Chains A and B, each alone.
Chain A
Amino acid sequence: MRGLRRPRPTAREGAPRILVPFSGSLDQSVLDAAIRIAKAEDAVLVPAYLLVVPLRYDEDSPLREQVKVAMPLLEAVELAGLRAGVPVDARIEKGRTLTHALKRLWEEESFDRIVAPAPAPGREGFTPKELAWLLANSPSETVVLKPAA
């Protein structure tokens, strides 16, 4: 046995950016599919964990409890992408609602494609209504992936 080291994936200039917004959790099958799409398109994967700032807190409040959930997830997503040879540029975005957080992210950055997990019973993330909003308002081509059963 010997140790092998992969070349570190780096984004080429002007590479397309694929946004994968999620909250609470991200289904492995959705992640795998997003990575495959990014790889096929020689794109940068932008996993974005969306946080909701409760109304009783100022918009600029640190969100420690939610961040505790987001951090290891983003680490895992980033690691999966990098191991697959896909450059990753992770984000955490916040808003008063998930759609508000998404809108803010779109206002700050542009994305060539959005890969969103479909709502699934018993799982956190987008509700059918939020997903409908996303499809109606998304500034880029949007792919909705159904989590594995």
Chain B
Amino acid sequence: MAAGVGKTYRMLQEGRLAIEEGRDVVIGYLEPHERPETAALARGIEEVPHLKAEHGGLELNEMDVDAVVRRAPELALIDELAHTNAPGMRNEKRYQDIEEVLDAGIDVISTVNVQHLESLNDEIAELTGVRVRETFPDRIIDEADEVVLVDLTPEALQERLRAGKIYKPERAEAALLNFFRSENLSRLRELALREVAEDVESRRKHAVLDPLSQQAIAERVLALVEPQPKSQRIMRRAWRSSERLGAQIDAMWVRKPGHELTKEEQVSLAALRRLAVVLGAHFLEEEGDDFVATVRRVAYERGTTYIFVGTPDESRRREIFGGSLLSRMVRELPGIDIRVVANRADRPEAAE
């Protein structure tokens, strides 16, 4: 939206999160704003040394694109996407540097103010009376995997400015009278919100969870899984039904006491846990000798109304046909629907 809203801070927060997730992250370039909170957040994140350039008697720092590419991190944090490089640099603009970094297979998080968008240049000039010279093409935003709005009310931004958190006090006063006037900031905020709303709309197919759907309602689904490939299918079917029912979903593996997981089972179990996270399901691992008794206990504890269970293994077939497992479930879980998830490929086809 504008300088001082906290873009760099947010970028560094994302970088820190990525580091916690085990990703290899470096700072490709951080604008030296002399903001203590920002500096504190950057501390400890590896920063690729800058290139020094001289222009008009001033020593300027620029991002060293080659050094970032050579360092080959997974993610580079590169501040100020719309920046114009010092004369003599390979690229005129930082967004061109960023494109080179992306081409090298490195993910990038960058920052930019809305007024630098090329297509908004005239509109910004008209609204604020200020012609922004550093612009970048709209396609950069279109090509981004994601655009995150860092929003702040004009009042809060002006407060930050007065408190010296953006510029030094002598510069802050002038800024408040010029670009940082309330009406300017309101217009910029409106533009930023509109741009991001349009971006979100265009990416709707990638939109995520509506929090309301998480609210507990009457139905609750329990998928009974095992560390086997077929359990992925059980979870998928259970999830689809939970969506139709608007229900919360649990997944549970009843582990026999002393059961040692094979390597394949470990992989399958880990994959089921990851799937549960994506589906918003709660994954439970319960130990029990008596499968049905364990299911019964958990189902009543969690208010389950609908149970999904896989088709029995060959080894269990006799037991099932003997009326053991499923009929016990039906008998011992009154008031709960039970669905046996079939393998659709087992469906007989007509022979010619």
Q: A residues within 8 Å of B by Cβ?
A: 1-6, 8-9, 11, 13, 44, 51-57, 59-69, 71, 74-75, 78-79, 82-83, 87-94, 96-97, 99-100, 103, 108-109, 129, 132-133, 136-137
**Are the CB atoms of A108 and B270 closer together than 8 Å?**
yes
CB < 8 Å A-B pair total: 132
Q: Once bound together, how far apart are the Cα atoms of A136 and B72, in whole Å?
A: 13
CB distance from A60 to the nearest CB of B (A): 5
Contact stretch, chosen from B60-68, B186-194, B231-239, B327-335: B231-239
Closest Cβ–Cβ distance, residue B112 to chain A (whole Å): 15
Quick one: which of A9, A63, A97 has the most chain B CB within 10 A? A63
Report A119 CB to chain B, min CB distance, Å: 14
A residues near B239, Cβ cutoff 8 Å: 67, 71
A-B contact pairs, 22 of them (CB 8 A): A2-B351, A3-B349, A3-B350, A4-B349, A5-B346, A8-B346, A52-B206, A60-B277, A64-B208, A64-B213, A65-B207, A65-B208, A68-B243, A71-B236, A75-B236, A82-B344, A87-B229, A90-B233, A92-B275, A94-B274, A96-B18, A108-B274
With A64-B213, A96-B18 as given contacts, are A71 and B232 in contact (CB-CB < 8 Å)? Answer: no
Decide if A79 touches B345 in the complex (CB within 8 Å): yes
Which residues of B are found within 8 Å of A96, using beta-carbon distances? Answer: 18, 107, 145
- Least CB distance from A116 to B in Å reads 15
- Which A residues lie within 8 Å of B105 (CB)? 99, 129, 132-133, 136-137
Residue of A nearest to B344 (CB): A79
Which of B109, B267, B345, B351 counts the most chain A CB atoms within 10 A? Answer: B345
Q: How many residues of B contact A (CB 8 A)?
A: 49
- In the bound complex, CA of A132 to CA of B102 (Å): 12
> Are the CB atoms of A64 and B267 closer together than 8 Å?
no
Q: Are A59 and B344 in contact (CB under 8 A)?
A: no
Query: Which partner residue on chain B sits nearest A82 by CB separation?
Result: B345
Closest residue on chain B to residue A7 by CB atoms = B346
Q: Is the CB of B229 within 8 A of A88?
A: yes
**Is the pair B271, A100 in contact by a Cβ cutoff of 8 Å?**
no
B54 at the A interface (CB under 8 A): no
Closest chain-B Cβ to A1's Cβ sits at a distance in Å of 5
A89 to chain B, nearest CB (A): 4
Cβ–Cβ contact B206 & A65, under 8 A: yes
| Set of chain B residues within 8 Å of A44, measured between Cβ atoms | 229
